[in-house]
Structures are given as C-alpha cells and as structure tokens.
Amino acid sequence: MASKSKPKSKAREQRSKSVDGTRELNLELKKGIASKNAAAIKAGGQNCLAVGIDGKAKVTVEGRVGDLFAALNNGATVVLNGTAGRFVGDTMNSGKVIVNGDCGEGAGMYMYGGHIVINGDAGDNIAQIAKGGAVLVNGSIGDFAGLYLTGGCVIVTGDTGTMTGDWMIKGAIFVGGDIGGLGNNTKVDSLTAEDRKFLGSMFSEYGVKTPVAKMKKIVSKDLRPFYKR
C-alpha cells in the first residue's frame, strides 16, 4: 500500500505563499507609482522586488527581501526597512537604494551611478566591476570588495575582509575600521581635501557618525596593471 505524503505545515505553506508573491508585490508597487509616484509594500523574502524603477518615484519596503532588490534602479529612491539577500542595486544607473539592515554579497555589482547605503553589515564582493556611484556600508563587509573597480567608490565605516580592492583600476575605497588585507595593485593613500569634503557630505546626508578623520583610503598602484612594461 502506497504511503500517504505528509501534509505541509502551516508555517511552510505561509512561507511558500509569501515567496511566490513577487509578481503581486511588484504590481502593487507599479500601481502606487503610477497613481502618486510613491508606493509601500510588505515583503516576505521575495527575489527581484522593486527592479528597474525609473524617474523620481519613492518606494518603501518593509520586511525581508531576497536577491536583486532594486536592481537596475534608474532614479528612484528605494528604502528597505529590513534585511536583503544578494546583489542589492545590481547594475543600477542612478537614484538611491537604502537598506536599513544587513545584506548579502554583491551589493552594487556593475553599478554605473547613484548611491547604495547599507545601514548594517554586507557580505563579500561589494561593488565588483562597478563603474561609478557610491556604495556606503555603515558597518563591516566581507572579502573581495571593489574587485576590478573602474570608477566610483566604496565607503565602509567598519572592517573589510581580505583582498580589498583586488585589481582595482580607478575609484577609491574608504575604510574606517581594520583592513583585513589588500588585494593586488592596491595601496593605502592619504585623504585629500576633496576626499574629506565628499565623505563629510555623504556622512551628513545619511546620518553616519564615524569621524571623517578616521577613514583610510585605498587606491590602485597602477592604472594598467595587466600590461607588461
């Protein structure tokens, strides 16, 4: 006699329904933006929420989100009051993405412009191959931040992991805590007056309490490290 399958627990059913609601939540956002250029939703772990929002829309998301939150952002201000998965703000062009909580790896990968602010800790691979904009982590991060960075900057008020700035070409990484290890083609440099002004403006705008004087600057040693001389 064939055994009967066990029924799903109520918690599992609720979790499945929550994660499967990506389309519905994005439609809710779309309607709010279309009617009043603002929207607010409650999330439960869904991937790909608030992706590709244009213009000056304001979006607020409460709860936990999955991967690719606010990817391809193009001018909107997107605020998450909760934790996020991987690839926050992936390939974003402009606008602001603010996460009031921790996030996973890959925040700001491939980004061209705008600001990503993480008020918590972030994982590995922050701002890899970024071409512009700024990723501000008001906490600590993992390994390989700024790999192949070609523009823009990473600002970390806490500690970094290993291989920070590995093979970076342009841009800068600012660190307020301990640098876990420098990557290839990197060096620690002095802050310029322009750096101090920029950091002071960013810290004021986003409520960061870390003294600018505490920040260290990581830059590339050589503009073209892959070419033999």
Query: What ranges make up the beta strands (E) of the chain?
Result: 38-44, 58-64, 74-81, 94-99, 115-118, 134-137, 153-156, 172-175, 186-189, 216-220
CA distance 181 to 142: 11
Q: What pLDDT is recorded for position 142?
A: 98
Residue 217, phi then psi, degrees to nearest 5:
-120, 130
Residue 160, phi then psi, degrees to nearest 5:
-115, 165
Taking a C-beta distance cutoff of 8 angstroms, is the pair 32, 51 a contact? no
The pTM for the full model equals: 0.89
Give the model confidence (pLDDT) of 53-73 as tens digits: 999 999 999 999 999 999 999
Give the model confidence (pLDDT) of 137-169 as tens digits: 999 999 999 999 999 999 999 999 999 999 999
Give the model confidence (pLDDT) of 9-43 as tens digits: 454 444 444 446 899 999 999 999 999 999 999 99
Give the up-direction half-sphere exposure of residue 97: CA atoms within 13 A in the CB hemisphere. Answer: 35
Report all structural domains of the chain as residue ranges with CATH numbers, in order of start: 12-220 (2.160.20.60)
